[in-house]
Structure 1
Amino acid sequence: MFSNCPISIAQLPDIEQVEFAPLDHHATTEARLSTFLFLLPFSLLVGIGLFFLQKVSVEVAIGLSSLLIMINLYVFWFVGLAVKRTGIALREHDFLLKKGVFWQKVIIVPFNRVQHIETHRNPIERKLALSSLKLFTAGGMGADLEINGLNIERASQIRQFILKQEHADE
């Protein structure tokens, strides 16, 4: 017979008690380099272009270039803070990712929902001995969870642990 008994809110596990481990110490460097490889050339082109436009005064070009520099410095700071506030945790039945600076969220992926796991390394990650881990779950169209900034050994260990947990449920 089907039953659906109520559960008291007091009985629910407290997510605040989970200890999240930080990413690798090179994760901030990787995130900043990846961001600036995209952002900096654009900023330089805009800044240089402003000086060569004949309809823009030198004062306006300097002001806009200064604004671009300020934006880049803000992004540099913000990316570092975002990586610092990212954490991961493995529990008996699930994997947790905590991230966010202003709007913080915790993503929980139960092991029994994981279809497959990928590790990948971009050129910057290879240089810094880092790896990224992607978890794909049943019914998902893409990666449901992606963690950048893990050292190679840690990413491999997490991948093997999750694979063992998947097969333990069978």
Structure 2
Amino acid sequence: MSFTNSQIFNDALPKLEDVKLKSISKRYLKIIILNKLAMCAAFSGVLIAGKLFIEREAFQDNFWFIFSIVMTFCFVNFVIAILAFKKRKYAVRDHDVIYASGLIVNSITTVPISRIQHIEESRSWLARQFNLATLNLYTAGESGSDLSIKGLPHEEAKQINDYISVRINGNQ
């Protein structure tokens, strides 16, 4: 028996750009916005409490400077989150699941269905209010999920969960 290892040329490889990725639910943007607003409200509340209870002159003199920095950070974080939302897309194919995300650092994760050990569907309280779910795909050898797709409509998440469960259990 002889070993062969033929070279594959780049033009023969399938192109990821040819995959039609589907955007996650626009309702998930509301959850992102609510989370960002809660974070900014918490930061603002801490600063205002500091203004009321910290009597140190250095803090009182620089309060508005610190407050403007925190508000600028919140605004930039908010804008980046909204722009990054548009980059969250996924695809489920016969042999793999693809998830793309990121605005500043764009990442595309592909998990072969044959490597998935189990799949988990989770829903936070807020996600239940918007009828959304998160799918976590686990492969061997990792302590956490290898792929987490947040913001899927609940029914669609159940369908994907059922499809992948059937595939990984060998009932193709």
CA shift digits 1:79-116 (9 cap, x unpaired): 11122111001111000000110111110000000000
- The match for 1:69 is 71
Structure 2 unaligned segments of length 5 or more: list them.
none
Q: How does 1:1-170 map to 2 (within 5 A)?
A: 1=1, 2-50=3-51, 52-54=53-55, 55-56=57-58, 58=60, 60-168=62-170
Shift of 1:58: 4.9
Tell me whether 4-13 or 92-101 shows the greater mean CA deviation. 4-13
C-alpha distance in structure 2 between counterparts of 1:35 and 1:168, whole Å: 42
CA RMSD, 1 decimal: 1.9
Task: Determine if contact 1:47/1:64 at 8 Å carries over to the other structure.
Answer: no
Letter of the structure 2 residue corresponding to residue 41 of structure 1: A
SS at match of 2:134: strand
Task: Determine if contact 1:119/1:132 at 8 Å carries over to the other structure.
Answer: yes
State the identity %. 29
C-alpha distance in structure 2 between counterparts of 1:57 and 1:162, whole Å: 56
Shift of 1:128: 1.0
